[in-house]
């Protein structure tokens, strides 16, 4: 999926919509996150240079297939986020917090 123009276009559009700014694709980087010897996340992260964003000059974005569609992720390069790996880690932590705070069905 990496470097596919249609895919990058969808991720770019989602990023621009989520963060209300312009974006120009600059690179695709592979990311592998391992925790306690287990692969937690593996994939490509798209790097975008931002225009007209008040606090960030760069963002990291990707998507994952879901049923019935696609879920987009867009993380701004604002400290402590300094890399694509940091962005993926922050996304994993945010998802874990959401899951922890979700009411369970008894």
Tell me the per-residue pLDDT of 13-55, one tens digit each, with 9 for 90 and over.
999 999 999 999 999 999 999 999 999 999 999 999 999 999 9
User: Is residue 51 situated within a structural domain?
Assistant: yes
User: Is residue 11 situated within a structural domain?
Assistant: yes
User: Is residue 29 situated within a structural domain?
Assistant: yes
Give the range of the structural domain holding residue 64, as residue numbers without chain letter. Answer: 5-83+91-101
User: Is residue 53 situated within a structural domain?
Assistant: yes
User: Is residue 57 situated within a structural domain?
Assistant: yes
In 3D space, the residue among 88, 81, 83 whose CA is nearest the CA of residue 63 turns out to be: 88
User: Is residue 95 situated within a structural domain?
Assistant: yes
Q: How many structural domains compose the chain?
A: 1
Give the separation between CA 24 and CA 47, rounded to whole angstroms. 8
pTM of this structure? 0.88
Give the separation between CA 91 and CA 68, rounded to whole angstroms. 21
Length of the chain, please? 106
User: Is residue 106 situated within a structural domain?
Assistant: no
Q: Give the pLDDT confidence score for residue 20 in this predicted structure.
A: 95
């Amino acid at each position: 999926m990496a470097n596919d123009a249609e895919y990058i276009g969808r991720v770019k559009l989602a990023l621009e919509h989520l963060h209300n700014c312009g974006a120009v694709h600059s690179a695709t980087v592979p990311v592998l996150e391992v925790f306690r010897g287990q692969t937690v996340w593996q994939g490509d992260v798209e790097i975008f240079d931002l225009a007209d964003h008040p606090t960030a000059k760069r963002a990291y974005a990707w998507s994952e297939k879901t049923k019935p569609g696609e879920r987009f992720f867009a993380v701004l390069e604002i400290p402590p986020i300094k890399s694509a790996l940091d962005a993926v880690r922050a996304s994993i932590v945010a998802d874990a917090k959401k899951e922890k705070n979700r009411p369970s069905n008894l």
